[in-house]
Amino acid sequence: MKSYFRILPFILSSAFSILILTTATAAPVDNAHIGLQLYSLRNQLATNILETLAEIKGWGITNVELAGTYHLTTEQFKEQLDANDLRPISAHYPYDAFRTNLDWIISDAKILGIKYVGCAWIPHKGDFDEKTCREAIETFNHAGEILAQHGMTFFSHTHGYEFAPYKDGTLFDLIMAETNPKYVSFQMDIFWVAHAGQDPVKLMQKYSHRWKLMHLKGMRDSTPTGLFTGHSDVTNDVPIGEGKISFPPLLRAAEKAGVTWYIIEDESPVSEQQIPQSLNYLKAHKW
C-alpha cells in the first residue's frame, strides 16, 4: 500500500532458487482465517461503499482489514461493515499517529473491535537508512507496549525498503533484533519481500513466531525485483497462484510459523476480477 494509508529479485539470483510447486498433503487455508485488505477496492469504496461491501460479502468473504474509512466516520463505517456481516480483524494506521496520537489509534481500534493494529509504511526521504530505522524501532516498541495494555497486538507490515543491506545483514534484521517480541509482531507482505529479492519462505523460517498476519498476492513474471523502493506498478499484482511466487511452500511455512490471518491484497486495476480467483485458489488447493 502506498501513501498515508498504505500509508503493502524474485527473478532470483544464484543466491536464491525458484520455489517449486509440490503436492504435499495438507488442508487448504481455512476460510475462517482468510481476509481481504479493503484497500484492494479503494476506488470502488470511494464512490459506492454500500455496493462494494455487498460485493465483498457476495464473494464469501467475512473478514476484512482496513486502511481508512472512505469519508465516513469510524462509527459509520463500522455500521456498514456490520450491515454486511463483515468483521474487521485488523487495520493500518499512519506511522506519525503511532508517534504522536496513539490515544486516537486506541480509541479507533476499540470502535472497530480489532485486535491487530499495524503500520504499513515508515516515511523516509531517499533511501531508508539506519537513523530512520532506529527511530521506527523506538516508536514500535513504545506503541506495542501501550497497545498491549489495551488487549491489542501491534504489527509492522513489510514493504521492501527494510531489506536494504546493513552490516552483515539487512535493516530488517536490525528491526527484528531491536524490537521486543513481546510487543512487536509482523505482517509479511510476500510481494514486497520478493520485490526486495528476499525468499519469503526462508524469512518466515528465520523469524518464526514473529509473523501474525500475511498479505497474499501474486507477482507478474516480468516484475523487476532486487529493489528497495517499496514501489511497483500496480499491474504487477496478479491472482494468487499465478506469476513467479510459489504458494504451497510459503503457506506450509506460514502455518508452521503460527500465522493467524491470511489477507488477500490486490492493488491492480482489475482487482474485482482477480480477488475471486485468489479466494478460490486458497480454498481449493492443498499444501
Is 5 within the bounds of a domain? no
Taking the CB of residue 12, how many other CB atoms lie within 10 A of it?
A: 17
DSSP per position, 187-217: EEEHHHHHHTT--HHHHHHHTTTSEEEEEE-
Q: Does the pLDDT of residue 182 top 60, yes or no?
A: yes
pLDDT value of residue 102? 98
Is 26 within the bounds of a domain? no
CA distance 25 to 35: 23
For residue 127, what are the domain limits?
Answer: 31-284
Taking the CB of residue 58, how many other CB atoms lie within 10 A of it?
A: 10
Q: Does the pLDDT of residue 13 top 70, yes or no?
A: no
Q: Residue 249: give its domain's CATH number.
A: 3.20.20.150
pLDDT digits 0-9 by tens, 193-222: 999 999 999 999 999 999 999 999 999 999
Structural domain count of the chain = 1
Is 129 within the bounds of a domain? yes
Confidence of residue 28 (pLDDT cuts 50, 70, 90): low
Computed from CA positions of residues 207, 208, 214, 218, in that sequence, does the dihedral angle turn out positive or negative?
A: positive
pLDDT digits 0-9 by tens, 50-108: 999 999 999 999 999 999 999 999 999 999 999 999 999 999 999 999 999 999 999 99
Could you tell me which of 146, 99, 95, 153 has the C-alpha nearest to residue 124?
A: 95
Is 1 within the bounds of a domain? no
Is 269 within the bounds of a domain? yes
pLDDT digits 0-9 by tens, 48-63: 999 999 999 999 999 9
Q: What is the pTM of this model?
A: 0.88
Q: Considering the chain, what percentage of its residues have pLDDT values greater than 90? A: 87
pLDDT value of residue 165? 97
With contact defined as beta carbons under 8 Å apart, do 229 and 160 qualify?
yes
The CA R_g of the chain, rounded to the nearest whole Å, is 18
Is 255 within the bounds of a domain? yes
Is 199 within the bounds of a domain? yes
Q: Does the pLDDT of residue 188 top 70, yes or no?
A: yes
pLDDT value of residue 27? 59
Is 203 within the bounds of a domain? yes
Confidence of residue 283 (pLDDT cuts 50, 70, 90): confident
Phi, psi at 219, each rounded to 5°: -120, 125
Q: Considering the chain, what percentage of its residues have pLDDT values greater than 70? A: 89
Mean pLDDT, the chain, as a whole number?
A: 91
